[in-house]
Structure 1
Amino acid sequence: MSIAPDDARRDTQYLYRTMREFVQSMDDTLPGKFEITKEGIVHDMMAPVGPHELTTLRVRKRLEKVMPEELVAHTGTPDVEAEAEHIMRHPDIMVIAEADMEVPASFDPRTLIAAVEIVSRSNPDNDWVSKMRDYPLLGIPVYAIFDPRTGSGAVLSDIHPTPNGPRYATRKDFVYGEDVTIADWTISTEGLPRYA
């Protein structure tokens, strides 16, 4: 038996919608965060701990001090979704124009200026592997990773095509204590907490 391309697309779309309904039904039901990747549902079971949340807060505040007033470093909902790609993610910080937040549902990932992730102690591959693959596929031009496990991170940019799909061409590593540039704005990484 063969499956026509249109049937395969419908099956994939049905699977994505089913996963999306499941993720939405789990919000506020189970601890942690659910996201949809190319491989399926990712569940970061651990609730964010102090160093994760404090890093998110400090990076957000530092970015908002140097960005134009019409831009925000948003840490809330909704998710970023590309239904055509079957991906729904929730960055820790989304650099976005306030005007682009005026939508009834998920944010269009192409409106993000940057996505910032604070690496989870319980699932670091989600940030270092899966999101490094998904964010250029979604068209997010800059991806910054802060890793409280190691006191280091990286900023990825310059999306370019590869045989495995779009990928970031430029990677600039940093260690805590150095200044880091995310898109057009440079902030300090001084005083960011580490996991014990």
Structure 2
Amino acid sequence: MTTLRYQAMRDAVQSLDDTVPGKFEITREGVVHDMRAPSSPHELTAARVSRRLEKLMPDGLLAHTGAPDVEDESQGILRLPDIMLIAEADMEGQGSFDPRTLIAAVEIVSRSNPDNDWVGKMRDYPLLGVPVYAVFDPRTGTGAVLSDIHQTPAGPRYATRKDFVYGEDVTIAEWTVSTEGLPLYA
């Protein structure tokens, strides 16, 4: 993707952010628009996982939910993880976070666009240098933690995948949390 094309998409996303519902992200294929506001099970899962992680993490590290996004203009990618494991010091300053400063990205699968989390972000996060990617899927009560970025002919990909079922403990980066009591979509 050219810098000009990426900047045009970035400008369009910024102009739509406050006027069109949902959230926008940019991939090499173009703009991804999740039109629905996150549901209660989505937000509750993010809150519970974030709190469980923060209880275990040392001072100075956060399991941050919210803005801003992570962006690598040279790759033509802008993503907004549901939870970012990141050092407070790496959150200082203006603009997007540097994705290479993330310890891990955690996504709660959207009911309206599951391929964004299971396909698109699984492709984009290793390109951005995010070392660990955890996916929680309230549709099925399952998930996966991906790690160990390696090079493939199609570009960087995760080499290790550990699947889990809600109710089991799951390790994200250095911290193991319970998935007990995480809600499912009705």
1-structure distance, mates of 2:163, 2:75: 28
C-alpha deviation, 1:157, in angstroms:
0.1
Alignment of 1:43-122 (within 5 A): 43-122=33-112
Instruction: Report what 2:129 is aligned to.
Output: 139
Q: Where does structure 1 lack aligned partners over 5 or more consecutive residues?
A: 1-8
Instruction: Report what 1:158 is aligned to.
Output: 148
* TM-score, with length taken from structure 1: 0.94
Q: Who wins on radius of gyration, i.e. which is larger? A: 1
2-structure distance, mates of 1:103, 1:168: 30
* TM-score, with length taken from structure 2: 0.99
Q: Secondary structure at the match of 1:57?
A: helix
Amino acid at match of 2:55: K
- Is 1:38–2:28 an aligned residue pair? yes
Identity rate of aligned residues, in percent?
Answer: 77
Amino acid at match of 1:119: V
Amino acid at match of 2:73: E
Deviations 1:12-53 (A, max 9, x none): 111100000111111121111100001000001111000000
Instruction: Report what 1:179 is aligned to.
Output: 169
Deviations 1:136-156 (A, max 9, x none): 000000000000000000000
Amino acid at match of 2:166: Y
The ranges of structure 1 where at least 4 consecutive aligned residues each deviate by more than 3 angstroms after the TM superposition are: none
Q: Report which stretch shifted further, 144-153 or 69-78.
A: 69-78
Q: Secondary structure at the match of 1:41?
A: strand
Deviations 1:89-139 (A, max 9, x none): 000000000000002110000000000000000000000000000000000
2-structure distance, mates of 1:119, 1:86: 23
Q: Report which stretch shifted further, 20-29 or 45-54.
A: 20-29
Instruction: Report what 1:5 is aligned to.
Output: none
Q: Aligned pairs, how many?
A: 186
Q: Secondary structure at the match of 1:129?
A: helix
Deviations 1:57-104 (A, max 9, x none): 000000000011110011111110001001000000000000000021
2-structure distance, mates of 1:29, 1:134: 26
Q: Secondary structure at the match of 1:84?
A: coil
